[in-house]
Amino acid sequence: MKMTRKQLYRRIEQAEPGEIATLEAKIATCPWRQSYHIQPVTGLLNDPNGFSFYEGYYHLFYQWFPLGTEHGMKYWYHTRSSNLVDWENVGIAIEPGTPYDSHGAYSGSAIEKDGKLNLIYTGNTRDENWIRHPFQCLAFMDEKNVVTKFEHPVISDVPPGYTEHFRDPKVWLHEDVYYGVIGAQRTDETGCTVLYRSADLKHWQFLGEIITTLTAYGYMWECPDYLELEGHGVLIFSPQGIPAESDRYQNIYQSGYLIGEPLNLETREFIHGKFDELDRGFDFYAPQTMQSPDGRRILVAWMGLPDLAYPTDESGWAHCLTIPRQLSIRGGKLIQQPVPEMAQLRKDQQGIMAQDSLRNGSRSFTGLNGIAYELQCEISDNDADLVGIEFRASDTEKTVIQYDRLQRKLMLDRSQSGAPLPEANGVIRTCALNEGMDADALIKLHLFVDSSSVEIFVNDGQEVFTSRIFPSRDSTDIRFFAHGGKADFRAVMWKV
């Protein structure tokens, strides 16, 4: 039963007696709790926030509604890790409740200054007519993880020309000056990103819009993130209201990027190429990046989408985050690869190796099965019409990643993955693969499978498919197949 507005906008201390214990009991029996992904202790997780490195730890916060699986009163929940792999739940970092975040602490970012981690976020408020009034707020976290809010908003007003959809500040330091981008909606209901500048993180000057060629591209740009990588400027954002176009933009909302010359911080001009999606799967949104101490650019995203239902809703929790991904640029494209630290999860350092040539059939191998694992597969000498892998499979369930050699397209099919999802979530996602490559070229598939998800990195990160799946616990088989011809398979797997 859906909550009322009053129930959705309760603070955690306003929970009914036994309400949280009931949620925890439901969650404890859920077969889809993840093994190695960040997930909420109760309730709903969404956008990653404040991804940063401070005092020897990677810190990652996320949007959290603790009392249910709908979007309600949002907190920042804090996790941390020394290695990007083993995440420790620290607890609530930012609680809503001041006049400037009375209806939720919304998304934002973090940056170290003066020995503290500065957390910059959107405070959500609503008036008596339920009209939204956003404030950009500041809080400070010390080395003991104690968070103190700055007493006033650092940006109190929405500039003329924009609606109250004005949120998700992402801040960086450039030549001793702080800059920030905010996702915005113009009064003509088109989306954009605006730019601010500050000397101290407390006083901000509005500079104007980042000038792109996408002048009417969706109705809102959420979670913008500007970074510079390998001499290029990269603007990542999540536009809402982009219509589907062949295989592209099939999700309810998109996440993607523009690559170009470094942003001109004086003129705000950004010379860039086409908008490209970051992920070809079903469940990927609101990505955020950070720069690690060794200079790598690392991305994490919400493995889910707004306004959709998922099977775990009935168990009192919803959503998780992706594994951390290292970014690079190859051929004008943003490449995502699992951070090398993920290898620390491998329980059998030797793995289980299998190699075979298949013609018009499928095959499984002793030892290659499981619920949570990492799998690397190379497909070569391929003249088959269809080649691929069925995983989390049984007699009645399977998730399929397959390559159609004639169309040169890769497809993820979750139509038989287990518990069904609503029609709006979709069951098939497809993308063209290496448009310039030979039809029988080597295909690399790198899968990270967990109890209720899969992340598939294709050809060293050229494409990624991220998806939630909800199979039964006894769907553990892995089957390799070639139909309409022959292909060679080489695979190695590690339980995690």
CB neighbour burial string for 380-411, b if at least 16 within 10 angstroms, e if fewer: eebebebbbbbbbbbeebbbbbbbbbeebebb
From the list 47, 168, 404, 450, the catalytic residue is 47
**Distance separating alpha carbons of residues 209 and 187, to the nearest angstrom:** 13
User: What is the spatial distance between Cα 216 and Cα 222, in angstroms, rounded to a whole number?
Assistant: 15
Is 47 designated active site? yes
Distance (Å, whole) CA 163 – CA 158: 7
Between CA 267 and CA 293 the distance in angstroms is: 30
Of 80, 91, 100, 71, give the one whose Cα is nearest residue 7.
Answer: 71
The DSSP annotation for 49-95 comes to EEEEEETTEEEEEEEEETT-SSS-S-EEEEEEESSSSS-EEEEEEE-
Q: What does the block give as tokens for 300?
A: 């994490």
Distance (Å, whole) CA 25 – CA 36 = 20
Q: What are phi and psi of 362, to 5 degrees?
A: -135, 160
458: helix, strand or coil: strand
Q: Which H/E stretch holds residue 8?
A: helix 5-8
Q: Is 355 helix (H, G, I), strand (E, B) or coil?
A: strand
Q: Kind of pairing, strands 333-338 and 352-363?
A: unpaired
Pick the closest to residue 281 from 471, 454, 446, 442 (CA basis).
Answer: 454
Tokens 């448009």, residue located: 435
The 10 Å CB-count burial string (b at 16+, else e) for 61-77 is bbbbbbbbbeebbbbbb
* Separation in Å, CA 427 to CA 9, 253, 309, 483: 33, 16, 14, 22
Tokens found for residue 390: 């069925």
Q: Which residues are catalytic?
A: 47
